[in-house]
Amino acid sequence: MTKTVRLGIAGLGTVGGGVLDILAKHAALVMARAGAKIEVTAVSARNKAKNRGHDLSRLTWYDDPVKLAADANIDVFIELMGGDGDPAKAAVELAINAGKHVITANKALLAHHGSALARLAEQKGVALNFEASVAGGIPIIKTIREGLAGNRVGKLFGIMNGTCNYILTKMANEGRSFADVLKEAQALGYAEADPTFDVGGFDTAHKLAVLTSLAFGSEVNLGAIDIEGIEAITLEDIRNASDLGYKIKLLGVAVASEEGIEQRVSPTLVPKGSPVSDTDGVFNAVVVKGDFVGDLMLEGRGAGAHPTASAVLSDIVDIARGNFRPAFGVPAADLRPYKAAPPKAHEGGYYVALELRDKPGAVAAVARVLAEENISIESIVQRGKSEKDAVRATAPFILITHDTVDTAMRAALARIETDGHVASHPRMIRIERL
C-alpha cells in the first residue's frame, strides 16, 4: 500500500496558494515521483474567510500556526509565513521538537537562526529543508549541497533580488529615474509599499548568508555582511557605466580564502556580455565557482507563486522518499565557526563619480591623492557641463581604477571629499571583472 505524507501548511499567501495549485494540478505526477500520496490535512492563515480558489472545508483550520505545528495528524510542517521571529520561529521549533519534518521558504528565519535550527533538527532526527528560501524556483540549494559535493567552492555571487534587478534594468533600458521606476514596481506588485527590505539590500543579504554557510561549511553569520542598497544609484551612474562597457547590478558576493570569509551586498559594475549582466528584469542568477566543475550559473525566476512553490514541492518529494541531508551540507556540529576576512579583503576595480569644482588644479589634486594611496587610474570620462553644473560651477568627473583594495579607496575618497575640490559626496561602486 502506498504511504501517505500528511502536510500542514502555515501561510496561505502567494507561495502557500502556489503549493495548493501544484498539488491540485499534478497530484498523480507528484505521487509517482515521491513514491507516496501527498495530502494536505491542516492549514493556518490570518483570514479564514478569504477565497483562495481551493476548497479548504475538509482541512483542519488553525488560527494559530504554533498549534498547527503541534498537530499529531501531520508529518511535515511547511512554514510559509516569513519573519525572523515568532510565530514562525516558535512554530518551527515546536514542529522539530515534536518530531516533524520542516520545510520553510523563510530566508530571514534561516539567516538569523539557521545554525541553531539545523542542530535541533539533527538532534531530533528530522529534515530541515529550505530550497524555496533562496532564488525562488532556481534549485541553488540542492546544487551547492548535493550537486557540488565533490567540489570546494571558493566564490559565489549573483543577482538574488528581482525587485532591484527590475528597477536597474528599467533605468538602463528606458532612461528613467530610480524614484520613477520604483513607483512602477510598486504598482505592479514587484515592490512593497515600504521597499526598504528589497532596495536596501537586506533581502539579498539574508539569502547570501544562507548560501555562504552551504558553500563554505561555516555557521550562518548575517551580521558579517557588508550591506549597501541601490537607493543612491543615479541615472547618470548607469549611463556612465554603459559608456565604460558595464552594467550595474545589485550583487550578493561571498568569497572564501585562507584569511577568512568575505560577504558583501552592493551595487556592482559587471562587464557587458557576461552572463550575469544579461540577466534582466525580475530574473535571478547565481554563479558558483567550484575547483573541479569551474563556473556554474543558474538563472530563472527568483520569486512568484509557482516558481517558489515548485521549490517547496521538491523538498516535499525528498522527504517522502526519505532523502534527508544535513541542512547546510555537513552535520551541524561540523559547521566551522565563522571567520571574517580582514577589512581590506575586496580587491578589484572601482567606479568613482566626482562633482569637481570648476577651478584650476582640481583634477591634478584628485590624481595626486589617488597616487599617494597607490591607486592607478584605468580610464576617465569627462562629460560636458549640464545647466545645473554651470550654475553650480562644477564639472562631472568619472574614473575607473585599476585593481586596488577597499581600504585604500575609502581613504582616498575621504581625503578628496575634504580637500575642497568636490562639491558633493563622491560616489563609489565596486567592479566585478567576472
Q: Name the residues annotated as catalytic.
A: 207
Question: Do 208 and 160 contact (CB within 8 A), yes or no?
Answer: yes
DSSP state of 147: I
In whole angstroms, give the CA distance from residue 104 to residue 308.
11
How far, in Å, CA of 68 to CA of 43, rounded? Answer: 7
Please give the Cα distance from 55 to 183 (Å, whole number).
Answer: 36
Which pairs count as long-range contacts for 169-172, CB under 8 Å and 24+ apart, including other chains?
169/280, 169/281, 171/233, 171/235, 171/238, 172/238, 172/242, 172/247, 172/248
First to last CA, the chain: 53
Helices marked H in 217-276: 235-243
Query: Quick one: cell of 434?
Result: 567576472
Task: Annotate 141-167 with b (16+ C-beta within 10 A) or e (fewer).
Answer: bbbbbeebeebebebbbbbbbbbbbbb
Pairwise CA distance, residues 268 & 321, whole Å: 41
Beta carbons of 259 and 345 less than 8 angstroms apart:
yes
Q: Tell me the C-alpha to C-alpha distance, in Å, between residue 124 and each of 101, 111, 117, 402.
A: 9, 21, 11, 52
CA distance 103 to 318: 11
Give pairs for 273-281: CB < 8 Å, separation 24+. 274/434, 275/299, 276/157, 276/158, 276/159, 276/249, 276/251, 276/434, 277/246, 277/247, 277/249, 279/159, 279/165, 279/249, 280/165, 280/169, 280/173, 281/162, 281/165, 281/166, 281/169
The answer to whether 121 touches 93, Cβ cutoff 8 Å, is: no
